[in-house]
Amino acid sequence: MTEHASGDSQSLFAAPPQAEQERMIEAVLFASADPVTLSELEQRLPHGCDAAEALVTLRRRYEGRGVNLVKVGDAYAFRTAPDLGHLMHKETVETRKLSRAAIETLAIVAYHQPVTRAEIEEIRGVAVSRGTVDQLIELEWIRFGRRRMTPGRPVTFVVTEQFLDHFGLESARDLPGLKELRAAGLLDSRPVPLGLSGGDEEDEASAGQSELFED
Amino acid sequence: MTEHASGDSQSLFAAPPQAEQERMIEAVLFASADPVTLSELEQRLPHGCDAAEALVTLRRRYEGRGVNLVKVGDAYAFRTAPDLGHLMHKETVETRKLSRAAIETLAIVAYHQPVTRAEIEEIRGVAVSRGTVDQLIELEWIRFGRRRMTPGRPVTFVVTEQFLDHFGLESARDLPGLKELRAAGLLDSRPVPLGLSGGDEEDEASAGQSELFED
Amino acid sequence: MADDWQEAKSTEAESVAARLAAEALIIDVDGFEGPLDLLLTLSRTQKVDLRKISVRELAEQYLIFVNKASALRIELAADYLVMAAWLAYLKSRLLLPPDPTEDGPSAEDLAAHLAFQLERLAAMREAAARLMARDQKGRDFFARGLPEDVTRKRKITYGATLMDLMQAYARIRTRDDFRPFVMDRDHVYTMEQALDRLRGLIGYAGQWTDLTSWLPQGWESNPMRRRSATAAHFAAVLELTKAGQVELRQGDVFAPLMVRQREGGR
């Protein structure tokens, strides 16, 4: 009974009708260049709004249009339809060319996350230069994740929301070919047989990427 | 990337259908940083498009929505519906960099928590002004922790949930250690002006978090 | 006989082909990102599914490559040589019948793991290519070009990034790294210092004098200081000899260095 009290003052005014909620979300998302999280949306909308529901209808409304409503992690944003990219060369930002090492490292982090530096090196068979990791952190495509609970407690890397946003992914689960790779056992972390060169240490018993994608 | 091939080949023969033209204009206006004039639109659209006509229908389509297609001088742009302007307040928050003293103090709290003011001063080698600590508390990035069970029972500082949230950390333990900072190239070898040095009374006695990060 | 000849000819042709392939690879040696990358490229010449690859054959190809590189005097990085040594070992173990008394993974396990590593690397390459081929923001699709700021309600928040935080911490901690470095200089006697000092002293060296007797006070006993001062003075004396101001003499290897002012030297 008492819990209602706090909400009462606002709920004197009923939540706006569904169509109005849609308009509001449309306006907020349109105005922002970055994805807006669901919780932020709800903070900005009047009390009592159900942003999640309005988002569903809004998303459907923009299907097939020149601008689409996309989901990025827990956030939402309007983006131009990918097939119209050719009209936009004026807006194209010349991005720094990534080295092959950087691209591969990025892919390994994305597909194997959370992943330690030693594991990245094990997969690529060469040392990962600090510049490479630096560059990916600077681009805000990868960040530090939880420490691995193994000897040395190595730090791990995971991909960010900005990464998802940049590559138009709703979540890391939607990475291309992820299912097939996992089915083929290529995302397992197999223990290195003793006596094998290369892999330094600390890469046993990794909890593994799977926990992120499983459920 | 791939789909537009069909659009291109179409443009060799006939202008895209009206609905497609609308999509294109929608995308161009959305992505452009400035209002786009009619002639500019026509240059960017495939040959044979009637931008003026498509604009009329597009404008009608957005009537009453959260964003409207408006004419600015002789150019066109999407703008938030005037009645929803109040939702846009949050977009205008100005972010300033923290002062060097504040960021250093924050870093010491994060890495050494729980840490007393005297310990912070020892590590930084300079007095910590009241304003600095107050600012960090006001930002809700640090808060008072348990009192230290030493003479004087000094109060300690720890970082908050909001801090973890802001910096995208799951726990303060996930902060990279010195070794990793060095590997990431963050321990640059720029000497610090003399006179700032904090004497050699290292504070290793503090049972803080530091041992976690020391290599 | 004919069969033998036939066989010899075909293996010769094979080895020629292998050699040519190896040479082509060597030209490209800078293009490889480490031994695993090279192995992956080599494995492509087997034209089989990576799961069916012959690790023995692959080891052979790799060793040919490394030999070729050394014959052409191309310096390979150490990890290529480590891999070569390991593959030679693996190859020999694959040829021998398994030793039941030996602990640890069998040669087949090791070979299987190598094949797995190659397959995984190839898979990640492909995944990376597919990732980069996706529609990308700022290239294929676009964010709002004109984020709106309608009412300018100024609210100041203070922001900092994780980078700022880590850099700040790094800055504080490196301060400590630098102090000992400055202290180290206490034990370093520079050649400039020695030169200055000797210029003032050579006037007194009419006789042959042992260089070590010229070391400054406080620099003779502590071994670190002594070494540094000796080196500095030796270098300074060479400098002065070159300038024709002193003469230098040493009776034997490791014998004391004798110094004397040169007659008529300026």
CB contact under 8 A, C165 and B107: yes
CB of C152 within 8 Å of a chain A CB? The answer is no
Q: What is the DSSP letter of C227?
A: H
For residue A33, the chain C residue with the least C-alpha distance is: C144
The share of chain C scoring above pLDDT 70, in percent, equals 79
State the pLDDT confidence band at C26, using cuts at 50, 70 and 90. Answer: low
Beta bridge partners of B79: B68
Question: pTM of this prediction?
Answer: 0.58
Partner-chain contact B31 A160, CB within 8 Å: no
Six-digit token pair at A105?
A: 């490292």
List, for residues B126-160, the tens digit of each pLDDT value. 888 888 899 899 888 899 998 988 888 899 999 98
| Chain A residues bordering chain B (beta-carbon distance below 8 Å) | 22-28, 30-32, 40, 44-45, 64-67, 78, 80-88, 90-91, 117, 130-131, 133-134, 137, 143-147, 153, 155, 160
Q: What are phi and psi of C14, to 5 degrees?
A: -60, -45
Least-confidence region, from A26-40, B36-50, C73-87: C73-87
- Please indicate if any CB of chain B lies within 8 Å of the CB of C138: no
pLDDT band at C34 (very low <50, low <70, confident <90, very high): confident
pLDDT the model gives residue C178:
44
Mutation target for C interface from B136, B163, B181: give the one with most C CBs within 10 A.
B181
Alpha helices in chain A, H assignment, sequence order: 2-11, 18-31, 38-44, 51-61, 100-112, 117-124, 130-138, 161-166, 178-183, 210-213
Q: Residue B90: pLDDT band by 50, 70, 90 thresholds? A: low
CB contacts of A100 in chain C (<8 Å) are 33
Which residue on chain C is closest to B136 by alpha carbon? C158
**Poorest-pLDDT segment among A2-6, A93-97, B82-86, C1-5:** A2-6
Closest partner residue to B108 (CB to CB) among C140, C148, C172 is C172
pLDDT in tens, A135-151: 899 888 999 998 888 88
Q: Which long-range contacts (CB under 8 A, 24 or more apart) does C239-246 make?
A: C239/C191, C239/C195, C240/C195, C240/C198, C240/C199, C240/C202, C245/C202, C246/C202, C246/C205
Band of the pLDDT at B190, cuts 50, 70, 90?
very low
> Could you tell me the pLDDT band of residue B57, with boundaries at 50, 70 and 90?
very high
Mean pLDDT on C232-250: 86
Residue written as tokens 């230069």? A129
> Is A85 close to C141, i.e. CB distance below 8 A?
yes
Closest CA to A143 of A114, A121, A104: A114
Contacts B123 to C, Cβ<8 Å: 172
- Overall average pLDDT of the C31-53 stretch: 82
**Under a CB-based contact definition with an 8 Å cutoff, are residues A114 and A125 in contact?**
no
CB contact under 8 A, B7 and A90: no
Residues of C in contact with A144 (CB under 8 A): 162
- pLDDT at C134 > cutoff 80: yes
> What is the spatial distance between Cα B132 and Cα B130, in angstroms, rounded to a whole number?
5
Asked whether residue C10 carries a pLDDT value surpassing 80, the answer given is no
Average pLDDT, chain C: 77
Give partners of C (≥3 CB pairs < 8 A): A, B
CA of B199: which chain C residue's CA is closest?
A: C176
pLDDT grade for C67, boundaries at 50, 70 and 90: confident
For chain A, list the contacting chains (3+ Cβ pairs, <8 Å): B, C
Asked whether the beta carbons of residue B187 and residue C146 sit closer than 8 angstroms, the reply is no
* Structural domains of chain B in order of their starting residue, each with its CATH number: 12-90 (1.10.10.10), 100-213 (1.10.10.10)
Phi-psi category of residue A202: left, alpha or beta, with phi > 0 → left and psi -120 to 50 → alpha:
left
Report the pLDDT value the prediction gives residue A9, as an integer from 0 to 100: 43
Question: Pick from A23, A87, A134: which is nearest to B184 by CB?
Answer: A134
Tens digits of per-residue pLDDT, A15-24?
A: 788 889 999 9
Q: How far is C186 from chain B (nearest CA, A)?
A: 17
Do C137 and A95 count as a contact with CB atoms less than 8 A apart? Answer: no
Tens digit of pLDDT for each residue in B4-20? Answer: 444 444 445 677 888 89
How far is residue A213 CA from its own chain's centroid? 12
The nearest alpha carbon in chain A to B65 belongs to: A23
pLDDT at B25 over 70: yes
Whole-angstrom distance, CA of residue B203 vs CA of residue B119? 7
Q: What average pLDDT does this structure show over C65-88? A: 83
Q: Is the pLDDT of residue C154 over 60?
A: no
> How far is B196 from B198, CA to CA, in rounded Å?
6
Q: What integer pLDDT is reported at residue B205 of this predicted model?
A: 34
Cα–Cα distance, B36 to B41 (Å, whole number): 7
Contacts of C149 in chain B (CB under 8 A): 88, 91-92
* Helix, strand, coil percent values for chain B (each to nearest 5): 45, 15, 40
User: Quick check: B111 and C162 CB within 8 A?
Assistant: no
A77 contacts chain C (CB < 8 A): yes
Mean residue pLDDT across chain B: 76
The pLDDT assigned to B169 comes to 76
Min Cα separation C34/chain B (Å): 20
**ipTM associated with this complex:** 0.60
List of chain A residues with pLDDT < 50: 1-11, 197-215
Asked if the model's pLDDT at residue C177 lies above 70, the reply is no
Q: Which pLDDT value is given to residue A79?
A: 93
- What single DSSP character describes residue B173? G
State yes or no: pLDDT of B27 exceeds 70.
yes
Cβ-defined contact of C175 to B175 (cutoff 8 Å): no
Phi-psi region of C65 (alpha: psi -120 to 50; beta: other; left: phi over 0): alpha
Helices (H) and strands (E) in chain C, counts: 8, 4
Q: How far apart are CA A141 and CA A108, in angstroms?
A: 12
Whether residue B102 and residue C170 make contact (CB cut-off 8 A), yes or no, is: no
Q: How confident is the model at residue C66 (pLDDT cuts 50, 70, 90)?
A: confident
Contacts of A194 in chain C (CB under 8 A): 104-105
Name which residue leads in pLDDT, B154 or C186. B154
Count A/B contacts: CB-CB distance under 8 Å. Answer: 111
Contacts of B108 in chain C (CB under 8 A): 169, 172
